[in-house]
Amino acid sequence: MQIRRVAVVGTGYVGLTTGACLASLGHRVVCADTDRNKVERLSRGQVDILEPRLPELVREGLDSGRLEFVQDTRAAVADADVVFLCLPTPMGVGGAADLAAVEAVADEIRTDLPHGSVVVNKSTVPVGTAERVAALLDRPDVTVVSNPEFLREGYAVRDFLNPDRIVVGAADRDAARRVADLYAGLDAPLVLTDAAGAELAKYAANFFLAMKLSFANNLATLCEHFGAEVDDVLAGIGHDPRIGSAFLKPGPGWGGSCLPKDTHALLTICQESGVEFPLLRATIETNVEHQRLLVERVVAGCTPGDGSLHGVRLAVLGLAFKAGTSDLRDSPALAIARLLKERGAELHAYDPALSETRPDLSDLLTIADTPEEALRGARACLVLTEWPEFRDLDWEHLAGLLETPVVYDFRNLLDPDELRRAGLTCEGIGRTPAMAR
């Protein structure tokens, strides 16, 4: 493997993981970020992101001298063979991806890029962005390559170093190979395509995962109607290798930093291109409707029938969009909390990942320091993030703190029999009465 000089612009989940992992593979990496305090913390080995193995890799990279953090983006790219753009592309107006950060950096670095270097779009971007960045750079000697990430929060390092595929897209196959060679030594299929194919592959992957989750939630509703057990039904289809069991898990809806913005961005692309994609639209609408129906269940169980939760205290266990992360971006737990708040509920929430960061959610709910604090005096408890430690709580003790002994387990995380022995009614998703109570 040829050792490369790599610059990574942006040190979020994707950028920091990319920089630290490439350094661990032997490359010399400079990571740039405009946040001075963040750069200083990272330079001391302080990683604020909750991500297994990432702090260790950052420290190893710093100690070896292969990893460096700077605030000066132009200086970072000045002698780089390959420059990765790992920048936020949040949902913009109308659902389209906001490329302001990508375009601003492209304009900033265009005169500082070394002759013959390669710029890599690692961010999730719409089809045509590679061409857009190339036009902004206006450097015929510099090639723009698309190399989308397929990293799961909580597993980002593992996914980077043990990928199930590496997708690289560019019109210039030599440039694509230069990027692919950065991953030499990693055992994974290599998909070489054009930039549009690579850009679309990322959106298509996230849409398909979102579709499986929406399907699982709709199936759970069907199981409740017919008295079937959703876990059994999903096991019955998940063993089929053509279907697979991944992402076939009912819950409070899908969210996070990728699926919502990427499905909306893809829908916008379709609308702008005049391409009908009803399955995509139905996937998004199903997610919204599913969350509304879950809230209606809580309202029906906690009110005398007037549809208002005014003055009703509810406990929420879990706010992060999934276990293993402190990320609240488009969390389904927060989406359901907002719907409950609109109905007048008073919410008290506990999440083990937020006990130190203490995000300001005062307009929505009160963050508790312990599960006991969240449950004390609540009409019911909602489990909205699948933290494994929730299974080990003393539910017999917690049952005595609730005003009424009801738990809405919208992750199907808890053992219904154990909760029943603790004197609690457990209402899950897609579970038959025998399983749920």
Mind telling me the catalytic residues? 258
Closest by CA position to 120, among listed 181, 34, 47, 36: 181
CA distance 313 to 375: 9
- Strand ranges (E), 290-386: 313-317, 346-350, 366-367, 380-383
Q: Which residue has the tokens 């692919």?
A: 180
Residue 256 near residue 151 (C-beta atoms within 8 A): no
Would you call 4 helix, strand, or coil by DSSP?
Answer: coil
CA distance 311 to 327: 29
Q: Which two tokens stand for residue 128?
A: 């045509």
What is the longest distance spanned by two Cα atoms in the chain? 72
State how far the alpha carbon of 101 is from the alpha carbons of 62, 130, 152, in Å. 27, 14, 22
Q: Which two tokens stand for residue 44?
A: 């001391």
CA distance 21 to 163: 12
b/e burial code for range 235-255 (CB count within 10 A of at least 16 → b): eeebeeeeeeeebbbbbbbbb
CB-based contacts of 420, cutoff 8 Å, min separation 6: 426, 437
Residue 402 near residue 380 (C-beta atoms within 8 A): yes
Please report how the helices 230-238 and 195-226 are oriented relative to each other, as an axis angle in degrees rounded to 10. 140
HEC string of 51-65 equals: CCCHHHHHHHHHHHC
Task: Give, for 427, the enclosing helix (H) or strand (E).
Answer: strand 425-427
State the DSSP code for 370: S
Strand ranges across the sheet with 67-70? 67-70, 28-32, 5-9, 82-85, 118-121, 143-146, 166-169, 190-193
